[in-house]
Amino acid sequence: MKNNPLESAKQQLLDIAKILELDKKTVDRLLKIENLVSGEISVKLDNGRIQKFKAWRSQHNSACGPYKGGIRFHEGVTVEEVQALSMWMTWKTAVVGIPYGGGKGGVVVNPKNLSKSELQRLSRAYIKLIAEHIGSDKDIPAPDVNTNAEIMGWMLDEYEKIVGRKEPGVLTGKPLELGGSKGRTEATGLGGSYVLDSFVKKLKKQKKNVSIAVQGFGNVGSYFAKFAYKNGYKIVAVSDSKNTLYNEKGLNIDKAFDYKAANDTFKGFPGGKLLPAEAVLSLNVDILVPAALENAVNEENVSKINARHILEMANGPVTPRAEEVLTAKKILILPDVLANAGGVVVSYFEWVQNLQNYYWEKEEVYAKLKKLMDKAFASVWSEFERLSKVSKKSTLRQAAYSLAVQKVVGAMKARGEN
C-alpha cells in the first residue's frame, strides 16, 4: 500500500538503529509487535440490522511499563496504521520519560454515520473484544481520532461490568465524573504549545513575528491554535477537511474556534478568506503544523512546502521520503513523538490520580505538563546538537528516537533480554 505507515515507522527505527549500532537481534525485537488483537465486532443498528466492523488493538512493547495509546474510530483505519501508531507510542512515552510502552486501537467506521445509541453500542462491543488484553497494569487505552471523554465513559462502564469491579485506571481521557483529569481534553494542543515556545526561544525570534499555519482543526489542532494565539503567535491559517481559513495579518482564533463549533464550517466566517483545504500546506509561513492524519506531507506534495519549519501535531504526518527532501532544505521538523506527547503525559497524570484516588486542580496539571515537556525538549535538543557534531544531516527526529530507543533497550536489558 502507498505510504504504508507501518513501513514508515519501521524505517525510522532502522535509521536510528544504524546510528546507534544496535545488533540485529535487538533491532528485530524492537520491530516486533508483541501482541495484536484482531476481530470483527457486531453492532445492532437502530433499524434492527446487524452491521460488522473490523477492529484491532496493537501492543508493541512493554519493556518500560503497561501499553498506552488511544482508540480511533475512522473509516480509513488499517491494521498497518494501528501497528505503526503503537510503535510510535512506545517512543513517545520514552521521550517524555513516563513509565509506559506503546499501544493503539482502531475501528473501521465513520462515526458520523451512526446515531448516538449506535455509537455507544459500538464502543461497548469494542471493549468486549479487547477486555482480557487491557487493565490498569496491562494496557491503558485513551481517546484518539473521533473518540472522546463520553466514549471513554461508556467503555469504562462496559469494562467494569465485564470484570466485576471498579477500575477507573484502565482508561484515560474519561469524564471528570468517572475519574478523568482536569486539563486532559486540551492536553495535546497545550503540550505542543510548550514545545513551540521552547523551539522559538532556540530560534531567538519574537512570538509576534512567528507566522503559523495549522492543518487540521479537530481537538489537537484547534487547542494548539488557541494556546499559540493566546501566547502571542500570529496564526495566519487553519484548515479542516473542506477549507483553509486564511488571513495574512493573523486570524482571531478564539472567534474562529467558536464559529466552527457553532456552524461546523469556516464558510461565512468574517475574519478571513476561504482557500482549498490543501492550500494550508503550501503557505509561506515560519511554522507549518500538520495536526490531522498521517502522511499529510509526502513525496507527491513535499515540493509545495514553503514553511521554514514543521511542528508535527498529528502522528506520522511527514513520510520518511518527504523528510529527506525537507532536511536537505535545512527545514527543521519537530517530531510527533515529542511535539504531540502532551496528551499521553496528562493521561499518565490521570492514571496516577486514579491509582491514588487523589485529584489535582487544572493549574497543577498544566504546571506538571510544562515541566515534563520542557525537560523533554531540552533533552532532545541536546541530543540533536550532539548528533549534529557527527553528521550535519542529523534531525530532531533522530535525536528523539535516539533517546527513546536507548531507554527501551536499556529496560529490555535490565529485564535480562540479550
State pLDDT tens for residues 364-377: 999 999 999 999 99
* Residue 86 belongs to a domain: yes
Asked if 171 and 215 sit in the same domain, the reply is no
- 236 with 141, same domain: the answer is no
- Residue 106 placed within a domain: yes
- C-alpha torsion 262→263→268→269, nearest 10: 40
Beta carbons within 8 Å of 30's beta carbon, 6+ residues apart:
13, 17, 22, 61, 405, 408, 409
Q: Could you read off the pLDDT of 123-180 as tens digits, one per residue?
A: 999 999 999 999 999 999 999 989 999 999 999 999 999 999 999 999 999 999 999 9
Q: Are residues 73 and 111 in the same domain?
A: yes
Residues in CB range of 59: below 8 A, 6 or more apart: 33, 34, 35, 36, 37, 67, 86, 101, 102, 103, 133, 139
Give a yes or no: residue 216 inside a domain: yes
Residue pair 243/265 in contact by the 8 Å Cβ criterion: yes
- Same-domain check for residues 201 and 335: yes
Q: Is residue 408 part of a domain?
A: no
Residue 5 contacts residue 84 (beta carbons within 8 Å):
yes
| Mean pLDDT value across residues 84-90 | 95
Q: Is 35 helix (H, G, I), strand (E, B) or coil?
A: strand
Residue owning grid cell 502532551: 342
* pLDDT at 1 (0 to 100): 42
Query: 207 with 241, same domain?
Result: yes
What is the distance, to the nearest Å, from the Cα of residue 99 to the centroid of all Cα atoms in its chain? 17
> Which residue, 127, 150, 178, sits at the end of a domain?
178
| H runs (alpha helix) in 139-252 | 149-163, 187-203, 219-230
Domain count, the chain: 2
Tell whether 125 and 268 lie within a shared domain: no
Strands (E), 257-406: 273-276, 287-290, 309-311, 332-334
Let me know whether 172 and 219 are in one domain.
Answer: no
Residue ranges making up the domain that contains 245: 187-339
pTM passes above 0.85: yes
Query: Are 164 and 260 part of one and the same domain?
Result: no
CATH number at residue 304: 3.40.50.720
Residue 267 in domain: yes
Query: Of the candidates 130, 152, 178, which is a domain's last residue?
Result: 178
**So which residues are the catalytic ones?**
104
